[in-house]
């Protein structure tokens, strides 16, 4: 989308937000709308009218606003409820990301003990072993595609082991995950995604049957135990929770590892500084989360009660989508916001969200990124982009800021 085209557009559509062209110019667009139109109109097809939020303070306010709901059943009456866009939608949407208190609290409590500080630290040696094993495979070739060879397999192996899922199935999750986070309402895409989600539901049904027969010390077995207690978890909630943990357990971290490596490759002074001062790794990770937010746009929030923002009435049933990427480049909050600075102070980014839905796996993602990037720089000190940075392509995807690939030589 050129600057001229953007200036003439008064309403953004879902397909535009999901396009590669938008991703390429998103930060330029966000900078302009933060100044001139912080409440930007959206047309979201079957989901109706919506608003894109671009400023940090607005994002913080709305992420904690009880007038916004994640579960559309808490907004729409029985007569108003939209028909399901996908046949398999109900089986995969009853998770905590789409819920409001008190259901959200109940669902989150069931899994949060697996993501405590103590539990995450116990995974450190395992993550280190995975990182070394993956680099062992590619190091003799002096060449790798970071996404396929490293950034994707590392977190999917970790979350698969936590959940008790066979590792041989991990490539299937990649296809299913893309179908889940693809918001397209194009008929042909809907049909394809519904087919893929049907496969995912069948896989989950089979997996749960097996875990019922042979429970183990994994997270899925623990969730099944909660389901068997009656009021803790319904079957749909069980499937939805497993789906969420699989998808959220790796998608964000894939992007964090990839986007951080890309940012370092594009900012040689910062790359060299980190190599010389590895104790800056934690600070560098926070800056990478801010600079290229792995989750660019939040999932949908529905307006339950009308309110006024920037002089505009937000009506009941309006959709609110918050650009975490834009909020994290807000000049009023972050001095020199477009500069990648691994020593940035007071880095109050919201890459993992804010409020009730703050990412449960944030600490795990940070640990995986720390081990992955530290190991990469230690074992491949001469690493560099294979090709020009202008050749790197962002995926056309609604939610995520994800590179299609990142070829590296070392």
Residue 337: is its pLDDT beyond 90? yes
What was the pLDDT predicted at 278?
A: 96
Q: Grade residue 227 by pLDDT with cuts at 50, 70 and 90.
A: low
d(CA 196, CA 87): 11
Count of other CB atoms within 10 angstroms of residue 374: 17
Share above pLDDT 70 across residues of the chain, in percent, rounded to a whole number: 93
What was the pLDDT predicted at 388?
A: 87
What was the pLDDT predicted at 226?
A: 76
One DSSP character per residue, 257-302 reads HHHHHHHHHH-HHHHHHHHH-GGGHHHHHHHHHHHT-SB-BPPPEE
Residue 9: is its pLDDT beyond 60? no
What was the pLDDT predicted at 230?
A: 54
What was the pLDDT predicted at 410?
A: 92
Distances (CA, A) of 134 to 38, 258, 369: 43, 15, 14
Average pLDDT over residues 315-320: 96
Q: Grade residue 332 by pLDDT with cuts at 50, 70 and 90.
A: very high
Average pLDDT over residues 7-29: 86
Residue 37: is its pLDDT beyond 70? yes
Residue 85: is its pLDDT beyond 70? no
Exposed, middle or buried by CB within 10 Å (0-12, 13-18, 19+), for 284? Answer: buried
Q: Which of 6-10, 180-184, 217-221, 252-256 has the highest mean pLDDT?
A: 252-256
Q: Could you read off the pLDDT of 201-215 as tens digits, one per residue?
A: 899 999 999 999 999
Q: Which of 55-69, 87-101, 169-183 has the highest mean pLDDT?
A: 55-69
Average pLDDT over residues 230-241: 80
What was the pLDDT predicted at 228?
A: 58
What was the pLDDT predicted at 89?
A: 67
Higher pLDDT, 13 or 372: 372
What was the pLDDT predicted at 7?
A: 46
Share above pLDDT 90 across residues of the chain, in percent, rounded to a whole number: 67
What was the pLDDT predicted at 229?
A: 61
What was the pLDDT predicted at 186?
A: 65
Average pLDDT over residues 271-278: 96
d(CA 83, CA 77): 13
Contact 241, 168 (CB under 8 A): no
Count of other CB atoms within 10 angstroms of residue 377: 17
Q: Which of 330, 111, 329, 298 is nearest to 218 (CA)?
A: 111
What's the pTM value of the predicted model, to 2 decimals?
0.92
What was the pLDDT predicted at 6?
A: 42
What was the pLDDT predicted at 353?
A: 97
Q: Could you read off the pLDDT of 149-160 as tens digits, one per residue?
A: 999 999 999 999
Q: Which of 283, 288, 291, 293 is nearest to 337 (CA)?
A: 291
Q: Could you read off the pLDDT of 179-206 as tens digits, one per residue?
A: 777 666 666 777 887 888 888 889 999 9
What was the pLDDT predicted at 383?
A: 95
Q: Could you read off the pLDDT of 106-144 as tens digits, one per residue?
A: 899 888 888 888 889 999 999 999 999 999 999 999 999
Average pLDDT over residues 374-380: 96
Q: Domain 3-409: which CATH class?
A: mainly alpha
């Amino acid at each position: 989308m050129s600057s001229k085209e953007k200036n003439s557009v008064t309403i953004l559509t879902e397909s535009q937000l999901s396009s590669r062209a938008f991703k390429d110019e998103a930060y330029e667009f966000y900078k302009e709308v933060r100044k001139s139109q912080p409440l930007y109109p959206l047309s979201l097809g079957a989901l109706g009218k919506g608003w894109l939020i671009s400023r940090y303070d607005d994002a913080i306010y709305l992420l904690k606003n009880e007038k916004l709901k994640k579960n559309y059943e808490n907004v729409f009456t029985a007569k108003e409820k939209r028909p399901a866009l996908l046949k398999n939608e109900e089986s995969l949407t009853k998770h905590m990301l789409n819920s409001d208190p008190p259901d959200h609290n109940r669902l989150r409590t069931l899994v949060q003990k697996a993501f405590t500080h103590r539990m995450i630290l116990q995974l450190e040696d395992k993550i280190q072993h995975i990182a070394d094993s993956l680099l062992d495979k590619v190091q003799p070739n002096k060449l790798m595609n970071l996404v396929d060879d490293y950034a994707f397999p590392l977190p999917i192996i970790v979350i698969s082991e936590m959940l008790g899922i066979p590792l041989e199935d991990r490539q299937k999750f990649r296809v299913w995950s893309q179908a889940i986070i693809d918001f397209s309402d194009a008929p042909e895409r809907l049909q394809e995604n519904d087919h893929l989600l049907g496969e995912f539901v069948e896989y989950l049904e089979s997996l749960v049957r097996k875990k019922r027969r042979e429970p183990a010390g994994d997270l899925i077995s623990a969730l099944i135990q909660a389901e068997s207690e009656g009021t803790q978890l319904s079957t749909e909630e069980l499937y939805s929770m497993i789906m969420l943990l699989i998808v959220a357990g790796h998608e964000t971290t894939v992007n964090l590892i990839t986007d951080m490596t890309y940012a370092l490759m594009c900012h040689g002074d910062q790359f060299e500084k980190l190599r010389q001062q590895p104790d800056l790794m934690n600070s560098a990770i926070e800056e990478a989360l801010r600079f290229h937010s792995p989750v660019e746009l939040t999932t949908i929030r529905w307006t339950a009660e009308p309110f006024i923002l920037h002089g505009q009435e937000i009506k009941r049933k309006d959709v609110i989508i918050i650009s975490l990427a834009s909020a994290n480049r807000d000049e009023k909050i972050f001095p020199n916001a477009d500069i990648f600075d691994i020593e940035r102070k007071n880095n109050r980014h919201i890459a993992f969200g804010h409020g009730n839905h703050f990412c449960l796996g944030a600490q795990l993602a940070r640990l995986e990124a720390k081990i992955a990037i530290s190991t990469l720089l230690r074992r491949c000190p001469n690493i560099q982009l294979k090709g020009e940075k202008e050749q790197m392509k962002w995926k056309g995807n609604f939610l995520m800021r994800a590179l299609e690939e990142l070829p590296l030589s070392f």
